[in-house]
A and B are shown apart, each in its own frame.
Chain A
Amino acid sequence: MSRIGVFVCHCGENISRTVDVEQVAQAAGALSGVAHACDYKYMCSDPGQNLLKKAVADHNLEGIVVAACSPRMHEKTFRKAAASAGVNPFLVEMANIREHCSWVHEDKAEATAKASDIVTMLVERVKKDKALAPITVPVTKRALVIGGGIAGIQAALDIADCGHQVVLVEREPSIGGHMAQLSETFPTLDCSQCIMTPKMVDVANHPNITLHTYSEIEQVDGYIGNFRITVRKKARSVDMGKCTGCGVCMAKCPQKKIPNNFDRNLGTRPAIYVPFPQAVPNTPVIDRENCTWFKTGKCGVCQKVCGPGAVDYTQEDELIVEPVGAIVVATGFELYSIAEKPKGSPIKGYGEFGHGNLPDVIDGMTFERLASASGPTGGKIQRPSDGKEPKQIVFVQCVGSRAREKGISYCSKICCMYTAKHTMLYKHKVHDGQAYVFFMDARTPGKGYDEFWRRAVEEEEAVYIRGMVSRLYQKNDKIVVMGSDISVGVQVEIEADLVVLATAVQARSGADSLAQKLGISYDGYNFYSEAHAKLRPVECATAGVYLAGACQGPKDIPDSVSQASAAAAKVMTLFARDELEREPIVAKVVDRYCVGCLACKKVCPYGAVEEKEIRDRQGTLLKVVAFVNPGVCGGCGTCQATCPSKSVELDGYTDEQIMAMIEAL
C-alpha cells in the first residue's frame, strides 16, 4: 500500500493546545507510503469529513489514518465517511493523539514528538490492514424478559404487541413484583392493584408471551441474535394444567402459621399458597421447606382435597432451553434492612434505630401493606405490636441512603415521594392523627411531584422537620424519636406510636451472579451498568442485552415503565432485520500450525472457540484444531495472546502488524 492519507485533527483546542498539529501533519507527509497529509480544526464535522472524502478522490487514497481522538469516540464516523468515498472501512485507522497524548502531556515539543510517533506507528499498521467485509448473523426474533415486575411486564407486552414471541421468566410464584404490593401510587394516588392487575392478566392471556413463573435463569449461552437460555422451572408441586385455582388446598392446609413474605411478614399463609389473591398465574405452589409432607412424609391433605388431582409431590425441577435473540433484564430491587450489614460497610445496620428489633419501627413497604385494602389489616393502619391505631406517626427518610458510612452513598430516589404519599394515606385513614417527617432534602424532580409533596405539607398537614433522627428507643408503649429541627436549631423529641423508615433501595441479592451468567457489567452496588449513562441508557455494553427498571438503579414506576418501553423499542429495532451485521474484527485459527491444545478455548470469555476435526479424503481423523465461531467472537484477542504456537490471528491486530508498529519507532 503506497497511497495513504493522514488527517490530523485539532479537536478545537483539545489537541492543538499541546500538540503542534501542523508539524505532525508535515512529518506524516514525509513518511514513506503517505500520499497526502493535512490538518483541520474539527475532522469529525461535516466539512472535516468532506475534506477526507475529497482527498480520497483527489489522491486516490488506499488507506487512511485519522490522528484525532480515541477509536471508541469516532472510529465509526470516519469508517463510514471512508466507505462512502469508496475505501474499505477497515482500511481506516485512528491514531489517538488526544486521550493518549494531548490530554495527558504538558510540554508541547515532547507531546508533538509523541504524536508524530503515534501517527508513524499507525501508518505502518494501516499498510498491513486487510479489506474486511462485515459478518452477518441470523437473528432469532424471540425475546427473553427476566423479571415480571412492572418493568418486565411492560417490556414483554410491548414486544409481544409488536408481533414477536416473548419468554417472561419470574422467580416468584406470581408476576407483579413490588408494584403488586403497593397500596396507592404517587403522584395521582391511583390504586396500584387497579392499574397493575389488568396488565398481569394481559401477560397471562397474550398469545405471544410464554410465562415461566417460579423459574430462574440457569445458564446463558450464545450471543446477540442467537442466545440459548436454560431456564430452571422450580418444582411447583402443583400441575398447572390441571389446577383450576379453586383454593380448597390452601383453605384445608393444616400448616397456616408461615409468615407471609408478600405482606412483609405481617400476616401468615399456608404451606400451599399463592402470594396474593390476584396472583397470575392463580396456581398455588407448595413451600417445601415448611410443608409437613415434605418434612415428615405425613399429611397429604392438599392432595386428598384437590378435586382435579393437580397436587403432585413427585414433581421435580425442570430445565427448559429457550432460543432467543435479545434479553431484557428487569430484575428490580430489594429494600435495605436496618438489621443487615450493607456491602462495603464496616457497620452493621442501624443500632441507633434498634437493629430491627423494635416491632413498631417498620419500613416503607410494610406501611404499604398496612395501608393496602388487600393487606393483612384490610387497609386499617394498625401497628404491629398491639394492633392499636397510631395517633402519632413518624416517618424517617434517608435510612441507609446517602449514608456513606453505612456503605450506600447514592440517593434512593423514590423515598421522598412515597413518604409524602404515606403521610397522605395516613391522614385519609386516621383523621385525628398527626404525621411527622424527618428529612434532609425533599427531592421531587418529576411531573407533578413537587406539587404532590407540597400538598402533603399544606393541605394534609404533615409536619416536615428538616433534620435527621439520631436515635429511636422504646419507652413504655411508645417509640421515642430523638431528632432535631435544623431550621430552628433545636432538638426535637416525639413520642410516636409508629415509626416508618424509608430504607434504601438496593440491588437484588444475587444480582451479581445473574450478571455473570449474562456477561453484563455491574457497579459497586451490584446495579447493572448501562453502555452510556446519557446516550445509551437502556443498553448493556454486552450486545443484545437491555436493561429496564430498578435493576439499573433506583427508579419509580413512571421511570421504570418508560425504560421498559425504551428497551422494548431497542429489541424491536434489532428484530426489524433478518440478519445482523457484526464487525469483522474476529480471531482466525491457522489450521496448519494449530496443535489442538485448546488453551484458547479455556480463556475465551465469549465461548466462541469450538473444536474442529480435520480429516483426509478417506475420512480418517488427522487432527483436532480450534475453530473460532465468527458470530460469537468478540474480537478481544485473548486467544491470540494465549496461543503457544502463535496460530491464532486477530484481523486488524495481527502479530505482523504489531511488530511493524514497534519497528516503526
Chain B
Amino acid sequence: MKQTKMTLSQTTMNLDFVKRVEHLSGSSVRRCFQCGKCSAGCPMRSFMEHPPNRIVRLLQLGQFERVLAGRSIWYCASCETCTTRCPNKVDLAAIMDALRKLSWDADGPSKESYVQLANRLFIENIRSYGRQYEMRLAAVFNMKSGQFLKDFMLGPKLLTKGKLKMFHRKNRNLPEIEKIFSRIEELRSKDRD
C-alpha cells in the first residue's frame, strides 16, 4: 500500500478498535515501545509490507485500515517467536490472531485477499461436506479468485497418487458437525458485542 500522510485526531484514531484488539488478544498494545525485537526475529518479515513492530505501532495510532489493508497479518505463521522474546510482554502472536478475527468481521480491504478467500472456502467446504473435499475447494478457489488455471498441472499428479479424489463422500454425521459450527458462530457473535 502507498504510504500516504497520516492525519491524527480523535476522529481519525479508532481507539475502540484498538480496545477490541486488546480485549481479544488479552495483551496491551500501548506497552510496546517500538524496540523492534519482534521484527528482528520474525521468519516471515521479508514477506510483510508492515513488519510486526509497525503493526503494533499502527494499532497504537488507531490506524486499523492500514493494518487490515496489508497482508502482513495473513503471512504471520503464529510461530510466537515475537511473543516469546518481547521485553514488554506484548503478546504479538495473540494480537495477530485477534487482527485476523477482526479482519474477517470487518468489511476491510483484506476481505479480498486470497488468503482469506482460501480460508473461508476451506471452512465452508468442511461445513457442507463434513470433511475436506479438495477437488471442489481447488475448483471454487480458482473460479472465485479468477485464476482459473492456477496449479492446474498439479491435478493429474495428485490424482494418480491418490491425494486428490474425483468424487467425495460426505461425513456420516453432518448434523453433529453443523452443531459445532453454529456453536462457534454463536460464540463469535457474543464476542463481537
List the A side residues contacting B9 at CB < 8 Å: 392, 434, 494-495
Q: Is A489 an interface residue (CB 8 A)?
A: yes
**CB within 8 A of A463: which of B3, B5, B13, B34?**
B13
**Complex-state Cα separation, A493 to B8, whole angstroms:** 6
Known: A463-B13, A466-B34. A490 touches B3 (CB 8 A): yes
In the complex, are the beta carbons of A434 and B61 less than 8 A apart? no
Q: Is B31 an interface residue (CB 8 A)?
A: yes
In the complex, are the beta carbons of A488 and B5 less than 8 A apart? no
Q: Is A487 an interface residue (CB 8 A)?
A: yes
**CB within 8 A of A392: which of B10, B30, B60, B63?**
B10
B7-25 to A contact mask, C-beta < 8 Å, 1/0: 1111001000000000000
List the A side residues contacting B28 at CB < 8 Å: 458
In the complex, are the beta carbons of B53 and A490 less than 8 A apart? no
B63-105 to A contact mask, C-beta < 8 Å, 1/0: 1000000000000000000000000000000000000000000
List the A side residues contacting B54 at CB < 8 Å: 487-489
The residue in chain A whose Cβ has the minimal distance to the Cβ of B4 is A490
List the A side residues contacting B33 at CB < 8 Å: 442, 454, 457
**CB within 8 A of B6: which of A457, A466, A493?**
A493
Q: Is A206 an interface residue (CB 8 A)?
A: no
List the B side residues contacting A485 at CB < 8 Å: 6, 57, 61
Whole-angstrom distance between the Cβ of A463 and the nearest chain B Cβ: 7
In the complex, are the beta carbons of A458 and B30 less than 8 A apart? yes
User: Interface size of B by Cβ–Cβ distance < 8 Å?
Assistant: 21
Whole-angstrom distance between the Cβ of A465 and the nearest chain B Cβ: 8
In the complex, are the beta carbons of A463 and B61 less than 8 A apart? yes
Q: Is B126 an interface residue (CB 8 A)?
A: no
**Complex-state Cα separation, A465 to B60, whole angstroms:** 10
**CB within 8 A of B57: which of A488, A494, A495?**
A488
List the A side residues contacting B8 at CB < 8 Å: 436, 463, 465, 492-494
**Complex-state Cα separation, A490 to B57, whole angstroms:** 12
In the complex, are the beta carbons of A494 and B7 less than 8 A apart? yes
User: Interface size of A by Cβ–Cβ distance < 8 Å?
Assistant: 22
Q: Is B58 an interface residue (CB 8 A)?
A: yes
A426-467 to B contact mask, C-beta < 8 Å, 1/0: 000000001010000010000000000010011001010110
**Complex-state Cα separation, A657 to B8, whole angstroms:** 76
Whole-angstrom distance between the Cβ of A136 and the nearest chain B Cβ: 59
Whole-angstrom distance between the Cβ of A43 and the nearest chain B Cβ: 48
**Complex-state Cα separation, A466 to B35, whole angstroms:** 12
**Complex-state Cα separation, A460 to B95, whole angstroms:** 22
**Complex-state Cα separation, A391 to B8, whole angstroms:** 13
List the B side residues contacting A409 at CB < 8 Å: none
Q: Is A516 an interface residue (CB 8 A)?
A: no
List the A side residues contacting B57 at CB < 8 Å: 485, 487-488
In the complex, are the beta carbons of A461 and B30 less than 8 A apart? yes
**Complex-state Cα separation, A581 to B8, whole angstroms:** 67
Among A450-505, those with CB < 8 Å from B are 454, 457-458, 461, 463, 465-466, 485, 487-495
**Complex-state Cα separation, A489 to B28, whole angstroms:** 23
List the B side residues contacting A493 at CB < 8 Å: 5-8
In the complex, are the beta carbons of B10 and A391 less than 8 A apart? yes
List the B side residues contacting A488 at CB < 8 Å: 3, 6, 54, 57-58, 61, 63
**Complex-state Cα separation, A434 to B14, whole angstroms:** 13
Whole-angstrom distance between the Cβ of A397 and the nearest chain B Cβ: 15
**CB within 8 A of B10: which of A434, A465, A492?**
A434
Whole-angstrom distance between the Cβ of A303 and the nearest chain B Cβ: 56
The residue in chain A whose Cβ has the minimal distance to the Cβ of B30 is A458
Most interface-central of A463, A487, A495 (chain B CB within 10 A): A487
In the complex, are the beta carbons of B34 and A492 less than 8 A apart? no
List the B side residues contacting A492 at CB < 8 Å: 5-8
List the B side residues contacting A491 at CB < 8 Å: 5-6
In the complex, are the beta carbons of B60 and A463 less than 8 A apart? yes
**Complex-state Cα separation, A465 to B13, whole angstroms:** 13
The residue in chain A whose Cβ has the minimal distance to the Cβ of B29 is A458
**Complex-state Cα separation, A611 to B7, whole angstroms:** 76
**CB within 8 A of B30: which of A442, A457, A465, A489?**
A457
Whole-angstrom distance between the Cβ of B30 and the nearest chain A Cβ: 4
List the B side residues contacting A489 at CB < 8 Å: 3, 54
**Complex-state Cα separation, A485 to B58, whole angstroms:** 10
The residue in chain A whose Cβ has the minimal distance to the Cβ of B53 is A487
**Complex-state Cα separation, A574 to B30, whole angstroms:** 53
A566-595 to B contact mask, C-beta < 8 Å, 1/0: 000000000000000000000000000000
The residue in chain A whose Cβ has the minimal distance to the Cβ of B15 is A461
List the A side residues contacting B53 at CB < 8 Å: 487
Whole-angstrom distance between the Cβ of B62 and the nearest chain A Cβ: 9
The residue in chain A whose Cβ has the minimal distance to the Cβ of B58 is A488
In the complex, are the beta carbons of A490 and B10 less than 8 A apart? no
The residue in chain A whose Cβ has the minimal distance to the Cβ of B55 is A488
**Complex-state Cα separation, A391 to B13, whole angstroms:** 14
A412-438 to B contact mask, C-beta < 8 Å, 1/0: 000000000000000000000010100
**Complex-state Cα separation, A262 to B117, whole angstroms:** 65
The residue in chain A whose Cβ has the minimal distance to the Cβ of B61 is A463
List the A side residues contacting B31 at CB < 8 Å: 454, 458
**Complex-state Cα separation, A489 to B61, whole angstroms:** 13
Whole-angstrom distance between the Cβ of B3 and the nearest chain A Cβ: 5
List the B side residues contacting A454 at CB < 8 Å: 31, 33
Whole-angstrom distance between the Cβ of B64 and the nearest chain A Cβ: 13
A389-401 to B contact mask, C-beta < 8 Å, 1/0: 0011000000000
The residue in chain A whose Cβ has the minimal distance to the Cβ of B2 is A490
The residue in chain B whose Cβ has the minimal distance to the Cβ of A434 is B10
Whole-angstrom distance between the Cβ of B72 and the nearest chain A Cβ: 13
Whole-angstrom distance between the Cβ of A523 and the nearest chain B Cβ: 33
Whole-angstrom distance between the Cβ of A479 and the nearest chain B Cβ: 13
**Complex-state Cα separation, A434 to B12, whole angstroms:** 12
Return 24 A-B CB contacts under 8 Å, by A number.
A392-B10, A434-B9, A434-B10, A436-B8, A454-B31, A454-B33, A458-B30, A461-B30, A463-B13, A463-B61, A465-B61, A485-B61, A487-B53, A487-B57, A488-B58, A488-B63, A489-B3, A490-B5, A490-B6, A491-B5, A491-B6, A493-B5, A493-B6, A494-B8
State the A residues within 8 Å of B (CB).
Answer: 391-392, 434, 436, 442, 454, 457-458, 461, 463, 465-466, 485, 487-495
Given contacts A492-B7, A493-B7, 8 further A-B contacts (CB under 8 A): A457-B33, A465-B61, A485-B6, A485-B61, A487-B34, A490-B6, A492-B8, A493-B6
State the B residues within 8 Å of A (CB).
Answer: 3-10, 13, 28, 30-31, 33-34, 53-54, 57-58, 60-61, 63
Give 5 closest A-B pairs by Cβ, nearest first: A491-B5, A458-B30, A487-B57, A487-B34, A490-B3
